[in-house]
A = this chain, B = another copy of it.
Amino acid sequence: MKICKNIRSLKIDLNKIQKNKCLSLIPTMGYLHLGHLSLIKKAKKRKEFTVVSIFINPKQFGPEEDLDKYPVNIKHDIEKLTKLKVDLLFIPKKKEIFDYKISSYRYKPLKIENILCGINRPNYFPGVADIIIRLFSIINPDKSYFGEKDFQQYFFVKTLLKKLGFKSKVISSKTIREKSGLAMSSRNQYLSIKEIKIANKLYKFLKLNKKEINDKKNISKSLAKYKNELLNAGFTKIDYLEVRTDDLRKANINSNNKRLFAAVFINETRLIDNIRV
């Protein structure tokens, strides 16, 4: 696996790829888990030139969030990626990324920045947009892969890149879970044994209420009840629990392609998940 730590060496390597080879990007913040690895395996299976980026984007974190303690273990990441025969790993420095001039693309809000994971986090999706535009300008992949755990992020990136005229096809992949059903996340490592037991209840809870949500006329009443149940189950705060369509519009009983989205806290750790209902 080739490792590029600056844009110049990356571009030299990308120029060497065969013209008809599909270039795929899996952007990550490192501390890779099986969710990331499943995206990579997908690209490798399709014989694509597979680029993984590791970049902890400071702009995605709020002032009260966990940037300072976000886990980092580049060595283990490199070991995992080498095993999967990833073609190229891009680990740029923050300074070089934010100094990079992106003249041709200008982000305008997509109007989904303030719902779900954007509630109370006004900088989150603009921060995602900033780094995505930079990475995709630099790498210009044919395809990119995102996990469905961060469904809103996948949809946001897809919409953003389409609107700005990038060629990249944005592909989503199903959430990879622990045996207990807990969605894999780098943040799970913050959880104590006691907290994991609570976290394990989230997916089970979403599945349990799937049917009722699909059948009920008044979803909001059920949601209020569910929030209480989550708090009783040990979650310390509910950031949101909402039913929306696949394109993130508010859902009612007649909507197709509905999803139940949840963001909950266990003490200071924030967990998200979602399922199709």
Contacts and interface: CB of A to CB of B under 8 A. Distances in A.
Contacts of A63: 93, 95
A75 to B, nearest CB: 5
Interface in A61-118: 63, 67-75, 91-95
A73 B73 contact: yes
Contact of A72 (B55, B69, B91, B94): B69
Interface residues of A, number: 19
A238 B6 CA distance: 24
A92 B74 CA distance: 23
A73 B95 CA distance: 23
Most buried by B among A63, A70, A73, A95: A73
Contacts of A72: 69-73
A63 B5 CA distance: 13
Nearest to A63: B95
A90 to B, nearest CB: 12
A98 B74 CA distance: 27
Contact of A68 (B67, B68, B69, B94): B94
Contacts of A55: 68
Contact of A91 (B67, B68, B70, B92): B68
Nearest to A64: B93
Contacts of A69: 72, 74, 91
A62 to B, nearest CB: 11
Most buried by B among A69, A94, A95: A69
A71 to B, nearest CB: 5
B74 A56 contact: no
Contact of A71 (B56, B73, B92, B94): B73
A205 interface: no
A210 B92 CA distance: 41
B75 A190 contact: yes
15 contacts: A55-B68, A56-B68, A63-B95, A67-B93, A68-B91, A68-B92, A68-B93, A68-B94, A69-B74, A71-B72, A71-B75, A73-B73, A73-B189, A74-B190, A75-B189
